[in-house]
Amino acid sequence: MTARVSFADRARAAAAAAALAWIAAFALVGAAAGHGLTLVPVHPDPRWALAWTSLPWAAGFGLATWLTGRVLERRSWEELAWRPATIASATAPEAITTPSVAPPRSPRATPTRGRQPRSAQDR
């Protein structure tokens, strides 16, 4: 007698756990780097205090984006929704309404960079 077990629920739970782990890693790296940069003693003009205290946190989460997205997960900047803005010319008015964020790419169009391509179930 064989047991009939569906592993679809376990696969979904594993995918959700992996997504939460990436979010936690991003938050941990960003918060640690931001806090570490706030310990650098700077004495800004009081009028610029808000900007100077916000800069380390932005740099920390920029580092977290680079580390978790580019280095650990090996995603391209386009996959992370970072793409240079398009320059609209006067002869192409449709370029003005074109969004600067790249559309989602299909898993088959994603370069593998030496690893196995992801299937829809792995995400």
Q: Does the pTM exceed 0.75?
A: no
pLDDT score at 111: 55
- Structural domain span for residue 64: 25-79
Q: Which residue has the higher pLDDT, 18 or 101?
A: 18
* CA contacts within 13 A on the Cβ side of 21: 8
The pLDDT tens digits for 74-87 are 888 888 877 776 66
Asked whether residue 109 is domain-assigned, the answer is no
Mean pLDDT of the chain: 76
pLDDT for 36 beyond 60: yes
Asked whether residue 56 is domain-assigned, the answer is yes
Contact 79, 105 (CB under 8 A): yes
Q: What angle do CA 4, 5, 7 make, to 5 degrees?
A: 150
Q: Which residue has the higher pLDDT, 107 or 26?
A: 26
Domain count, the chain: 1
Residue 80 carries which DSSP code?
A: T
Asked whether residue 15 is domain-assigned, the answer is no
Asked whether residue 114 is domain-assigned, the answer is no
Asked whether residue 65 is domain-assigned, the answer is yes
Rounded distance between C-alpha atoms, residue 105 and residue 98, angstroms = 17
